[in-house]
Structure 1
C-alpha cells in the first residue's frame, strides 16, 4: 500500500477539486492518504510568487477556470463571497482535530465544503461557529482554534512542506516524489500504476536543463 501525503490549504479551489477527484482517479489502487494542511501564503512567499490572486487578469481567469472545472467534473463549486481571505482560522480549526499535523478525510472535506459550496463568506462568525460545531466530535482534548497546539502544527507542517520542495497546493508526495496540482493527478496515477517512464530520465533529468536567463546580481 502506498501512502500519499496531500498538502492542502482550504483557500485553494484546486485543492477542493483535487480532494473530490482523488478517489475516482486512484480507483482500484491500494493507497492511504494523509491530509496535511499548510499555509499556502508562506509557500508562495518563499519563492516571491504573488499567486493567481495577486495578478488581476490571472485572478479573473482562475476563478472562471475553477468554476468551469467544477461544472465539467460535476463538482459543486461556488466562489465564496470574498476571495482571497485569511485562511488561518480555518487551518487552525482543522488542526485542532489533529495530534500529529494530519487530518482525516472527514475534517478536510467538512472545511473544504464550508468554503467552496454555497458562495458564502468563509470567515463569517456565525458560519465559523457552525463549522466548529460540525467538527466538535473530532476535536482533540483541550484544543480549539485559539490553542497553541494547532498553531504549532501549522508552522511545522508548512516548514516541512517547504523543506520537501512544495511550492503550491494541492501537492501530493509519495515515495519522495512530488506531484503538483489538479492536473497532476493523472501523472500521480501513472506513477502508482508503475509506468516505466518514471524509471527513465524524464523525472530527474529536467533538473540538469540549464537556464537561459542571466542570474540576478
Structure 2
C-alpha cells in the first residue's frame, strides 16, 4: 500500500477543493492518506511570498476561479465572511484531536480535516474566526488535548518546519514516494504516478526540474 501525505491549511480554498476531490482521484488504488495541517502563512513568510488573498487583483481572480472550480466539481464552497483570517485556532484544534506524536493515530483523520474545511467553506459565509462557532466546533470534535497548550503549539510549528524542509511551499501539497504534487490541479498527475505511468519511471521528472539560467530581479 502506498502512502499519500496531504499537507493543508483550512484557510486555502484550493486545499478545500482538493480535499473534496481526493477520494475520486485515488479511487482504484490501494492508498493510505495521512493528513498534516500546517501553517501556510509560515511557509510564505519563510519563502518571502505573499498569499493570493493579499494581492487584490489576484484575490479577486482567486475567488472567481475557486467558485468556478466548485461549480464544475459539483461541491459547495462558500467564502467566509473575512478572508484571509487567522487559522491558528483551527490548526491547533486539529492537532489536539490527534494522539501525541509517536503514538498510533498521531495525525488527525479525514473526519477532523473535513470538519475544519466545512467550518470555513460550507458555512454560508459565516465568520471562520467567530469565537462561538470555534467553541461549537471544539465541542463537536472533542479534542483529547488542550489546543492552546504549548505542546500543541509546538507540534504545529514543528510540522510546518518539517514540511518546509521537505520542499513544501504551498497548500495543498500531496507527497507520495518522495515526490511533491502541489495544488488542486495536480491530482491527475498524482493519480498517474500511482498508476505507474511510464513518464514517472523515466528521467522526465528530474529533467523537467533542472535549473535554467534566467534574469534575476533587482530589489
TM-score (norm 2): 0.93
Kept in 2: contact 1:96–1:149 (CA 8 A): no
Equivalent pairs, count: 213
TM-score, length-scaled by structure 1: 0.94
SS in 1 for 2:33: strand
Q: CA deviation at 1:216?
A: 5.7
Match of 1:132 in 2: 138
Q: Which residue of 2 aligns with 1:65?
A: 65
Match of 2:196 in 1: 194
2:119 pairs with 111, 114, 121, which one?
114
Q: Deviations over 1:161-200 (max 9, x none)?
A: 0000000000000111000000000000000000000122
**Alpha-carbon separation, structure 2, partners of 1:3 and 1:214:** 38
Distance verdict in 2 for CA 1:215–1:61, change over 3 Å: closer
- Segments of structure 2 that go 5 or more residues without pairing to the other structure are none
CA RMSD of aligned residues (A): 1.4
1:157 aligned residue:
159
Kindly provide the CA deviation profile for residues 36-68 of structure 1, in whole angstroms up to 9, marking residues without a partner as x.
000001111122110201211000000111111
Residues 36, 103 of structure 1: 8 Å contact kept:
yes
How many angstroms apart in 2 are the aligned matches of 1:9 and 1:57?
22
For the 8 Å contact 1:25–1:186, the answer to whether it is kept is: yes
Per-residue displacement from partner, 1:90-124 (whole Å, max 9, x unpaired)? 10111111123621001000111000012100010
Work out the CA distance in 2 between the residues paired with 1:209 and 1:111. 38
Q: Which consecutive residues of structure 1, in runs of 5 or more, have no partner in the other structure?
A: none
Aligned equivalent of 1:105, options 94, 105, 110: 110
Q: Distance in 2 between matches of 1:215 and 1:79?
A: 34
SS in 2 for 1:36: strand
Cross-structure match for 2:49: 49
Q: Please say if 1:206 is aligned against 2:208.
A: yes
